[in-house]
Chains A and B, each alone.
Chain A
Amino acid sequence: MNDYRYDNQTVQGFILSAIFWGVVGILVGLLISIQLWAPAANFAPYFTYGRLRVVHTNGLAFGLGAGVIFGLLLYVVMRLSGRPLVFPRLARFQLWYFNLVIAAAALSLFAGWDQSNEYAELEWPLDVAVVVLWVIFAVNVFATIIKRKEPQLYVSLWYTIATVVAIAVLYIVNNLAIPAGLGKSYHLFAGLNSANVEWWYGHNAVGFLFTTPFLAMFFYFMPKALGIPLYSHRLSILAFWSLIFGYLWTGAHHLVYTPIPDWLQTLGIVFTLFLIAPSWGSVINGYYTVGSDWSKMRTNYLAKFFVLAITFYGLQTVQGPTQALRVVSQLIHGTDWVPGHVHMGTMGWVTLTATASIYYVIPRIYGTTIYSEKVANIHFWLVLVGQLLFSVTMWITGIQQGAMWKATNPDGTLKYTFVESLVKNYPYWHTRTLAGLIFTAGMLFFVYNVLMTIRKGRALQASAPAPRASSPAPA
């Protein structure tokens, strides 16, 4: 009991840290959304769009994303292993070290230490620090699973294991570089290989940072929160192996129509289409689980979070493969369609899964209930409306941009100048900022609800100190 209590505090520490970095990342996101239509909102040299965009993406991927992954997956590993962590103090050290690394990473990006590889912008000293961080996490995950009390490994543990090994391989290979001073390095690979390695990494960072760990959470917390057993373990097995097999082939769909060889592009596109199958395997599993008792949508406030999360995962994993097709890529590549796509995944699937899981975990740490289901519902609707407005707006303007770039007169000359296509974005970019504000408001309701639940739990603990040890044996 006491060991769990210590580890649970570590879990809560990761959750609170993730929330902190999440709020920072979202606020930076709001600022850069304004910079897109108001260039005067750039404050050179530290707060220009070019530097802040990477603070936004890294802050949310590694600050919020990895923070949530560390906290919630450690929690899941403990529950599914039927024991506390093998190295509790190491996990506590990891918590402090994680925050230190993320803070240093943010500062380095403000300072312009930027490797220019998307989602791998951190310079080599920080890469080394991140690898150490990941190894510490892996030690606790593997040690606890090996020394588990429960013989069978549940599906969430497979996804956790795959996440740990895949991120290690991807991160190390793509960050191989020749250092040229403390804050500067050059990618080990040149030109075409640099592009190919980067997008092998970039796409799978999405796969193994935003997909597999969140599937691990989804398949643990969704049945737990709703009190419904998972629909099919056989389907989980099929989806798991085909997903982790297929994902690694698909990076080149980011490089359609670039000078990398056609066969690589085609292979990437084909495997991207293949990925619909395992992705929808998880979607079907999720739907059929809730489907055994749809009344949960009325009676359990978390049901809608999980159902919408897996719905967005399903939409995301059809939209992505569609974008990979050459004929679609022609139109939307490089336009605002793409941020629209990404944000459906991050603001929809990832955020809904993470926040619902946190709503499940935090009260359980204190043996209490959520502070307010009403606030959670407000949070849900604001986040949903904000995300939909964001994505739909970006899809519309993205198609418009792509069409204007491609429009030609009968004699082959262009119909529009570049600036004409840019100017058409402004109304949509204004709307996107509005959508961001709505989403941010929703997230602030979430933060408030979590903090108040912790406060409630602490008050409870203080009023009933160590119940079993101190109470006299009943007569």
Chain B
Amino acid sequence: MAGAIYRKPITLAVMATVTILVGSVVTMAYPMLRADMHPKLATLKPYTALQLAGRDVYQREGCMNCHTQVVRPLPSEVARYGAYSQAGEFAYEHPFLWGSKRTGPDLAREGGLRPDAWQYDHLANPQKYVPRSNMPSYAFLKGRLLDADQVTSHLAALAVLHPELKPDPAQVKAELAGKDEADAMVAYLQQLGHAVPRRQALAADLTVENPLAHDVAAVVKGQKLFADNCAVCHGDEAKGQEGIAPSLIDDVFLEVKGDMPDAAYFAMISGGSDAKAGLGRPGLKDGGMTAFGGQLSKQDIWSIIAWLRNQKAHEAAEGDDHDAQEHR
């Protein structure tokens, strides 16, 4: 069987190399010549100095060993994380950070999902928000000031491939003045997925009434759902946490005095921050309410609202009691 080459090591080596190169050329080199491997969304923005510094920290700490950054086009995945990843989102990724293991959740749509304050706090102490999380604490990022010269040289390296990233050292210095690695990390996380608009929240129909209002079973169920999904930010009694999430039982709704109907609560829980515009109220400045529409059924959301209303009435009654006692 063509025995001669098994006596000629050089010929064998050359033939082995050629054999290896066939598949390499077809599946690795040739695709680089194709336009469909170099897409770029018009909405994709290059990294700022602070964001790139954050990405460098993300790489250094090996975050991609536990977090993926690619949402697959599967219904369950889109329901959990948001729009599936598009080819044109990755033009500035050197290298790609899709990862291969989801020990923690995917982060492709993390940007704007939660307030900055939550991100800082969670990085330093993940178990505060997710008690059974296995994420290590990254408290040490706080106070490690960024080196503007280093970030400038990183931008300059990327500018070899993307001229639009060419840094102005003075500007970088100004942008990074007083900023530490935690600031950079949060800036990086908050821009993830920025090129793809998040699911548009449906315009809220404020005339819809809660079908489960005052339903005792729904109130009980709502309390459990609230504890599982909402309490980490809004607190066990829905009184909110300073800088993280507002109280849900006072008379302020989205930073404006005066309550809104149940349908507005439904819109916020279902659509998250994106629903704010439809409700005409500003909310917290850097506020990021997670959209639970993909995770909680309508019944669940109405149950939570039923419990909130109950809690609110309870609070109001207690408040009256306090007032009455004080005046006595």
> With an 8 A cutoff between CB atoms, is A280 at the interface?
no
Is A152 an interface position by the 8 A CB rule?
yes
Whether A190 pairs with B160 at a CB distance below 8 angstroms is no
Chain B nearest Cβ from A202, distance in angstroms = 9
- How many chain B residues touch the partner (CB < 8 A)? 93
Contact present for A422 and B133 (CB under 8 Å): yes
CB distance from A274 to the nearest CB of B (A): 11
Task: Check B31 against A257 for contact (C-beta < 8 Å).
Answer: no
Q: Does A192 contact B (CB under 8 A)?
A: yes
Contact of B96 among A169, A180, A191, A237 (CB under 8 A): A191
Contacts of B177 in A (CB 8 A): none
Please report the C-alpha to C-alpha distance between residue A45 and residue B57 in the assembled complex, in whole angstroms.
Answer: 12
Q: Is A378 an interface residue (CB 8 A)?
A: no
What are the interface flags for A21-63 relative to B under an 8 Å C-beta threshold, 1 for contact and 0 otherwise? Answer: 0000000000000011111001011001111011000000000
Contacting A at CB under 8 A, from B1-49, are 1, 6-7, 9-10, 12-13, 16-17, 19-24, 26-28, 31-32, 34, 36-39
A-B contact count (CB 8 A): 277
Asked if B127 is at the interface (CB within 8 A of a chain A CB), the reply is yes
Known: A45-B140, A165-B13, A411-B298. A184 touches B100 (CB 8 A): no
Most buried by B among A184, A185, A255, A414: A414
**Chain B residue at smallest Cβ distance from A161:** B13
Asked if B258 is at the interface (CB within 8 A of a chain A CB), the reply is no
Q: With A53-B65, A165-B13, A411-B298 in contact, do A186 and B94 touch (Cβ < 8 Å)?
A: yes
- A-side contacts of B153, CB under 8 Å: 180-181
Nearest residue (CB) in A for B131 is A419
Known interface pairs A116-B64, A194-B93; A264-B27 also in contact (CB < 8 Å): yes
B37 touches A245 (CB 8 A): no
CA distance A347 to B255 in the complex (A): 58
Please tell me if the beta carbons of B75 and A408 are within 8 angstroms of each other in the complex.
Answer: yes
Report the minimum CB–CB distance from A143 to chain B (whole Å).
10
- Interface: A178 (CB within 8 A): yes
Q: Which residues of B contact A169 (CB under 8 A)?
A: 17, 20-21, 24
Report whether A51 and B100 are in contact in the complex, using a CB–CB cutoff of 8 Å: no
Q: Count A interface residues, CB 8 Å.
A: 101
A473 contacts partner chain B, Cβ-Cβ < 8 Å: no
- Taking CB atoms, residues of chain B closer than 8 Å to A197 are 28
Structural contact, B72 and A249, CB atoms closer than 8 A = no
Q: With an 8 A cutoff between CB atoms, is A198 at the interface?
A: yes
B98–A258 touching, CB < 8 Å = yes
- Cβ-based interface call for B277 (8 A): no
A153 to B4, CA, bound (A): 10
Chain A proximity of B266: nearest CB distance (Å): 14
Q: Which of chain B's residues has its CB closest to A121's CB? A: B62
Residue in A161, A196, A249, A408 whose CB lies within 8 Å of B12: A161
Q: Chain A contacts of B31 at CB under 8 A?
A: 193, 196, 261, 264
Structural contact, B9 and A145, CB atoms closer than 8 A: yes
Interface residues of A in 106-150 (CB under 8 A from B): 112-118, 142, 145-146
| A261 contacts B36, C-beta separation under 8 Å | yes
25 contacts between A and B (CB under 8 A): A39-B133, A39-B134, A50-B63, A112-B60, A114-B59, A114-B62, A116-B64, A142-B9, A152-B6, A180-B154, A189-B94, A190-B161, A193-B37, A194-B95, A248-B23, A257-B72, A261-B34, A333-B100, A334-B102, A405-B76, A405-B77, A405-B80, A406-B74, A418-B80, A422-B134
A200-B27, A411-B298 given; 6 more Cβ-contact pairs under 8 Å: A186-B94, A248-B20, A252-B27, A259-B70, A259-B89, A413-B79
Interface residues of B, Cβ cutoff 8 Å to A: 1, 6-7, 9-10, 12-13, 16-17, 19-24, 26-28, 31-32, 34, 36-39, 56, 59-66, 68, 70, 72-77, 79-80, 85-87, 89-105, 126-127, 130, 132-140, 150, 153-154, 156-158, 160-161, 228-229, 293-298, 300
Q: Enumerate the 3 nearest inter-chain pairs by beta-carbon distance, A residue then B residue, closest first.
A: A191-B90, A50-B62, A248-B23
